[in-house]
A = this chain, B = another copy of it.
Amino acid sequence: MEYSLKSFEEYFAQSEVIRMNHYHVDGRLKHVMLSHQFSIQLLEELFDIADRVKEMTRKTNGIEFLKSLLGHKKAMLYFTQPSTRTFLSFLTACQMVGMDTGEVRDPSLSSEYKGESQEDGVRVFSSYFDIIIMRDPKPGFCEYMAYLLDNTGRSVPILNGGSGKDQHPTQALLDLYTIHRSFQQKDGIRKKRYAFVGDLLRGRAVRSSVMLLSQYKDIEMDFVAPSSFQIAEDLEKILHNQGVKINKTDKLESVLSKVDCIYMTRIQDEYDLTGESNNIDYSQFSLTTENVKKMKPSSIILHPLPRRNEISPNVDADPRAMYWRQLRNGVYIRAALLLYVFNVAHRLDEY
């Protein structure tokens, strides 16, 4: 009658492919952990749901219909790592589909001071809520909890809301959804040239989105970064294997006029060990109204936000600036994901 549960280390000693298999049930995605869980087919299914959600939110009765879809479900927002924008995006996505929510945001308020293990703590949430949306600073914690809950009495879906330095799958979803919508009349996501600018080594949004993009055909990518913050070697290797054409440079000017999409990021100096960000001339990795003029008229500018100075607020009015729209798309695609995970998206036809 005893469990033979794997320890954290044993769990991650398994290959990613084996782990990813656990996150599907009956051929459907249950736990949303890694951006590369999303195939092109699944992405397009989600984009379609998100389009319909977005359309419905334009009318009062559409909003009310959406709220009727998951009124019987409750979500726990477990954000022990500070976050305002992702937290509120998930919160409003939950509200959009009618879910009640509870939250834990400040670990010091929790009962962990009483010596409870974090695993027990999360299991408590799974007893009260139907899904757990989780951002935790400990890399892999979210995946390990999904495994533990699946192997105890009460398993609920877990959505990774951003973990450690590496994964932020719903950010990747909203990035691709925004690209999809922007290029809808222009052959879609494929056959495009994408530039990623800034801190490409430590930005988890970039990593997740690059992985997703690499599935599409005829993609070319420019990585514009100070040499110390260029993309990780393992990621580069993966892209090579996928047949993605890659260029690395530290000259933003050299790519401006050539790309279809510029994805800007900020320098993630909260991950500095010895102040290594101080040596960077940020202005070389920033967009002003001046250099935006060199971009193609049909190109787009993305940014996962929050921004510092890497995009001048004066650029906001440019029709190619998509980052505020990208932010709102995050709510639609997250609402779509909730409808998918609870398998009620088909009910949208009833509207």
Contacts and interface: CB of A to CB of B under 8 A. Distances in A.
Interface residues of A, number: 65
Interface string A60-88: 10011001000110101000001111001
A95 interface: yes
Interface string A299-330: 00000011110000110111100001001100
A114 interface: yes
A5 B289 CA distance: 14
A313 B120 CA distance: 9
B72 A60 contact: yes
A106 interface: yes
Nearest to A68: B64
A91 B125 CA distance: 12
Contacts of A91: 102
A275 interface: no
A104 interface: yes
Contacts of A316: 3, 152-153
A154 interface: yes
Contact of A1 (B106, B109, B152, B317): B317
B74 A64 contact: no
A174 B98 CA distance: 29
